Homo-oligomer: A and B are copies of this chain.
Amino acid sequence: MSEFKTDVILKGDCIQVLKSLPDASVDAVFADPPYNLQLGGDLLRPDNSRVDAVDDDWDKFDSFAAYDAFTRAWMAECRRVLKPEGTIWVIGSYHNVFRLGSAIQDLGFWVLNDIVWRKSNPMPNFKGTRFTNAHETLIWAARSQGQKRYTFNYDALKAFNEDTQMRSDWTFALCTGEERIKDADGKKAHPTQKPEALLHRVLLASTRPGDVVLDPFFGTGTTGAAAKRLGRRYIGIEREDDYIRVAEKRLAAVVPANPEDLAVMGSKRSEPRVPFGALVEAGLLRPGDRLYAPDGSREARVRADGSLIHGDLTGSIHKLGALMENAPACNGWTYWRFKTDQGFKSIDTLRAEIRAAM
């Protein structure tokens, strides 16, 4: 059993290092894999022979096959390392994203969304032979189909987006200027450094404070920087010493946000359940009290066990609400009202009282 440390950069080949990590140990994976088919040594056939540069159709197919084998090898390890309720993010462009997406599906992940990173300042197509390639694609997937309990901070992103739900197209500027890390000689330290804002949104959406985020292609550590800033933990895997040095220096300088500012808008689903009967027990409502439909057209009587009665119809607040409206379902908490000196009030205000006292 290997040791499991977080907030570290593990040096080595990503597949080898992944194999050393325990099963079901990380909450999220973010992967920005190489797609240049000739990127030094990454591309090995299943038999470990190296793929040469290629031109003709047959070899092209061969190189796609090699890329697929490589992809499926690291991705399968990521799946093993991921907790059941964890999710994976991968990013790519049209060169490789179809390979990534097919692999994700074939390995048993369940795609939740594809997200478009719309670049506000893309590099123009100088020759005028194609459309300006102005976006990249992220794929977000759960570990398996039917896994409904993945982390998604829906309400946080809705607040972020000024109270309308976050869409699948995100606009960010390229990583340039101050943020772009340069060598001593002024050259960019890494060819594909991602904007930290992108990682900020990814982690805010799909992880919680304290979660462990794994990045098998760590590069200069954008994932780690965003994780640290947001109070998440990270594990980076990187092969190149140069990148590791840059990342370590970068990460040392990152100042985490205060824990109390990392709280985000919570969901109602995460609040404790309060049975309607508890309102009666607490004396906020009494047996015999009347509840009223939103338009006042109907009423029901509260019984001692927290059920409602209307004529010869009885049931929970939800069931009776649905019956009143002849609807397939009804949230009784927001449906029923009770009478006060100041007029009608939702029974949900009484639930809030109980929760506040808890």
- Chain A interface residues (CB < 8 Å from chain B): 44, 48, 57, 60-61, 64, 93-95, 97-102, 104-106, 108, 111-116, 118, 120-122, 124-125, 128-135, 137, 139-140, 144-145, 148, 152-163, 165-169, 171-173, 196-197, 200-201, 204-205, 230, 257-258, 261-265, 267, 272-278, 280-283, 286-288, 301-307, 309, 314-319, 327-329, 332, 357-358
| CB closest residue in chain B, given A56 | B145
Question: Known contacts being A106-B61, A118-B116, A305-B265, is A282 close to B197, with CB within 8 Å?
Answer: yes
Q: Is the CB of A281 within 8 A of B98?
A: no
| CB closest residue in chain B, given A309 | B263
The docked-state distance in angstroms from the alpha carbon of A258 to that of B307 is 15
The docked-state distance in angstroms from the alpha carbon of A161 to that of B131 is 11
| CB closest residue in chain B, given A173 | B357
Q: Is the CB of B307 within 8 A of A168?
A: no
Q: Could you jot down 28 A-B contacts, CB within 8 Å? A: A94-B139, A97-B101, A98-B99, A98-B104, A102-B102, A112-B131, A118-B118, A118-B169, A128-B154, A128-B267, A129-B154, A133-B168, A134-B169, A135-B169, A156-B305, A160-B306, A163-B316, A196-B281, A197-B282, A200-B281, A201-B277, A201-B281, A257-B286, A257-B288, A258-B287, A258-B288, A262-B304, A263-B309
The docked-state distance in angstroms from the alpha carbon of A157 to that of B280 is 12
Q: Is the CB of A165 within 8 A of B301?
A: no
Q: Is the CB of A108 within 8 A of B303?
A: no
The docked-state distance in angstroms from the alpha carbon of A318 to that of B112 is 29
Q: Is the CB of B307 within 8 A of A358?
A: no
Question: Known contacts being A99-B102, A281-B201, is A261 close to B132, with CB within 8 Å?
Answer: no
> CB within 8 A of A162: which of B60, B258, B317?
B317
The docked-state distance in angstroms from the alpha carbon of A286 to that of B139 is 27
Q: Is the CB of B261 within 8 A of A134?
A: no
Extra inter-chain contacts (8) besides given A48-B327, A98-B100, A172-B281, CB under 8 Å: A57-B145, A98-B98, A120-B357, A128-B158, A132-B166, A160-B280, A261-B303, A262-B287
